[in-house]
Every structure is written in structure tokens, then in C-alpha cells.
Structure 1
Amino acid sequence: MCEVVTVKPIIGVLCDHLGAESGKYIQVAEKVGDVLGSSGYGIAYSASCGPLGNAVAKSAIKAGSPVIGVIPRRIIDDGLLKAAPERIPAGTLHIVDTSPGRKKVIESLAATHVALPGGIETLESIIEAMRSEGCDRRSIILVNVDSFFAGFTSQLERCVYSGFLTRSALDLLHVVENAEDIPRVLNEIVCPRRAMPHS
């Protein structure tokens, strides 16, 4: 008799390189990592994205999640990895040649994304995902701690109302107020992968 093993997919975590040092956001990042790891999801993230990304990765690893850190080669060439290896928490480190290459690798690995509060780079990644088409289209969960994304989503609603954005693009965004709500949304928007049967 064959047993089919269901494997939960990898989730891309979006956060800024200059992540806020605020304890509040660090705690949210830690909770996101813990929730994803405890729920059985893998994580792919930019291994050079600072305290928020590192907090997610460390918590996810502690919870048993497979974590893939993607990092540009220049970070290693500049000696930053050797200088502070503890700053790069990852079960697997994937080295790419360029920063755009980092985004492409994470995009190729992730079934969907979770976005932490962040600045230009985070918002840019969200908008890029909304502009994608066909099989490349993936939903994004916004962790809306302290209504951080309220102004952003309100502006996008106005874009839809004014005819500058399609409703289907906006519908790719799923807002949660607490990290604990992430698994529920993931269950609705992401299908588990089926691994090879075991006899």
C-alpha cells in the first residue's frame, strides 16, 4: 500500500534591509516565524535584510521550519558573512550574483508571500507581485500590526475606484491583524504539494 505525503509549501517573507529596530516590530517578526514554522511551512527570505528578517528566520528554525536564506555574493565577498555569521540564520544559504537575482530566487521558491511592516523595498515587492500575470500571480498576506498598511491599502482602493488598478490585482492582498491569523489565510489560498508516494 502506498502512502502519499502532503508537504506544505515554502512562504516568501518580505521585509526591508534596513528593518526597524523597534522592539514591537521585532516581536511581530519573531511571532510570524514561530507561527509559520509551527504550522509546517518552509520559509525563504533575504538573508541580508537585517533584524526583522533575522528574527523571522531564527524563530522559524527554532520551531522546526526549513529556512532558505538568499544572499547576494557581494555580501560574502565583502567579508560581512565572516564578520558576523550569527546574523545569517538559515538552514540553507543560497548565494546569488546580484540583488535582483535574490528577488527572483525567492519568487521562484515561494508559493505565496507574507509581508512585514517595511519601507520602499517591501512596498515595491508587494506592487511587483500585484503586477504579475498568469502562473506568476501569487497572493500576499500583509501583517497589519498597528494598522501599518491601512494607508497603503486605502490608496490602492482609491486606485481601483479611479480606474488605475483592477479589482483582481487588489484581491491578491490579504490583510491580517495578528500573526496567528496567517495559517488560516494560507489554508485558503495555498494548496499543499504532494510528495512522492511511500510504500
Structure 2
Amino acid sequence: MADICVYCASGPVPQRYIDLAADLGTALGAGGHTLISGGGHVSMMGAVGAATRAAGGKTVGIIPGHLVEREAADHDSDELIVTDTMRERKRLMEVRADGFITLPGGIGTLEELFETWTGGYLGEHDKPVVLLDADGFYQPLLSWLDELRGEGFVAADALNRMRVVATVADAVTAVTRQ
């Protein structure tokens, strides 16, 4: 059993992404894992939390006070932590998690991915960082990162530090394999 942090969208997105988040939550809960999330109950964030609990898993939501209303805090979480700042939210998410899975998302999700991925590459943690590239959502980003590698801006070791997978099952396997 692991404590898995999931980064994903908290705003309006197409239903297929809500379904993907729910599928991941179901897999986490069925595996007896604890979800660490941004603490919102809407969009993908809400779907992964509700599905984790429905499948028997526990959820820990970590949300800054100024987003409690905006992201509609997930008061159904087994544990809901309200922080003073976004930086404290991200720090607690990183500390509490055994590994990280990033689903499709926008700038907040990307920022969380890059911070966690960079921290691992720089040796601040040795936790798995998994990018779930469902239906090629992240292919433009991955292509750009490969171009940056070719130009010397991103080390091949850094790219290898992030595990890119295409399915929920592969994401759960990658994040729980030590």
C-alpha cells in the first residue's frame, strides 16, 4: 500500500478526462492505496477522490485556504488539510506521498509535475514520478522536451527520471514499483 499523489485538472474538461481520473481512483482504491490530492471535489480532482473512496481507498486532500471555495474543498476526504499557501500545499503533498502520477491538466498541473520531477532529478527525493500520457495528451510536451535534450537544455538522465506510461494500470505499476 502506498500514498500516491495525483496531479490533475480542477476545472472544466471533457468527460473522457473525468472518466480517466475516475478509472485511476478506482485502481488506487482497489489496490488499497491512499490518494494524496489537491483537496478539491470538482472536475478530475473530484473524480479521482470519489472513485478512490468508492473502491475502498483513503483520501487526503491538501488545499490552501484561498481555494477552499474556488475549488470546492473535498469535505468527504478522510483527511482534509487546509494550508495557508499554495507552496505549503505542494510541500505537504510531496512529503506525504510515496510517488506521483500526473494526469492531463493545465498550468497548475504542469507546474506541479515540473517541480516534483525536477526535485527528483536534483536528488531532493527518490520517489517515482509518473506521467500518464493517455491518448497522447502530452505528446507535444514530450516532443518539445526531446528537442530541448537535443539542444543540450535537458539531460537525458532527467528525461529518464520521469516514467511515461499510456494506461492507468501501467501508471499504478510504475508508481508503486521501487
Q: Give me the TM-score of the superposition, normalised by structure 1.
A: 0.80
Query: Structure 2 matches for 1:80-91, cutoff 5 A?
Result: 80=69, 87-91=74-78
Which residue identity lines up with residue 125 of structure 1 in the other structure?
E
TM-superposition CA deviations, 1:112-133 (whole Å, max 9, x none): 1111101111111111122212
Conserved in 1, the CA contact under 8 Å of 2:9 and 2:43?
A: no
> Are 1:11 and 1:112, in contact at CA under 8 Å, matched by a contact in 2?
yes
The yes-or-no answer on 1:163 pairing with 2:152 is: yes
- Distance across 2 between alignment mates of 1:47 and 1:121: 14
Equivalent residue for 2:168? 179
Q: Residue in 1 aligned with 2:21?
A: 29
| 1:10 aligned residue | 3
Structure-1 residue corresponding to 2:140: 151
Which structure 1 residue ranges, 4+ long, deviate > 4 Å from structure 2? none
2:9 is paired with a residue whose SS is coil
1:33-72 matched pairs, under 5 angstroms: 33-48=25-40, 50-72=42-64
Letter of the structure 1 residue corresponding to residue 10 of structure 2: H
Query: Contact conserved, 1:69 with 1:93, CA < 8 A, in 2?
Result: yes
Q: Is the 8 A contact 2:2 2:176 kept in 1?
A: no
Unaligned runs of 5+ in 2: none
Q: What is the number of equivalent residue pairs in this alignment? A: 175
Conservation of the 8 A alpha-carbon contact between 1:44 and 1:68: yes
Matched, 1:95 2:95: no
- Which gives a bigger RCO, structure 1 or 2 (Cα 8 Å, sep 6+)? 1
Shift of 1:51: 1.0
Residues 139-188 of structure 1, C-alpha deviation per residue, up to 9 Å, x if partnerless? 32112121001111111111112110112211122122121222322343
In the alignment, does 2:126 pair up with 1:134? no
* Structure 2 residue aligned with 1:196: none
**Amino-acid identity (%):** 27
What is the distance in 2 between the residues matched to 1:71 and 1:130?
A: 21
Determine the C-alpha separation between the residues in 2 that align with 1:160 and 1:178: 25
Given that residues 28 and 57 in structure 2 are in contact (C-alpha distance below 8 angstroms), is that contact kept between their aligned partners in structure 1?
yes
CA contact (8 A) 2:21 2:45 kept: yes
Secondary structure at 1:93's aligned position in 2? strand
What letter matches 1:15 in structure 2? C
User: Which stretch of the first structure deviates more once superposed, 139-148 or 57-66?
Assistant: 139-148
The equivalent position to 1:110 in structure 2, one of 97, 114, 125, is 97
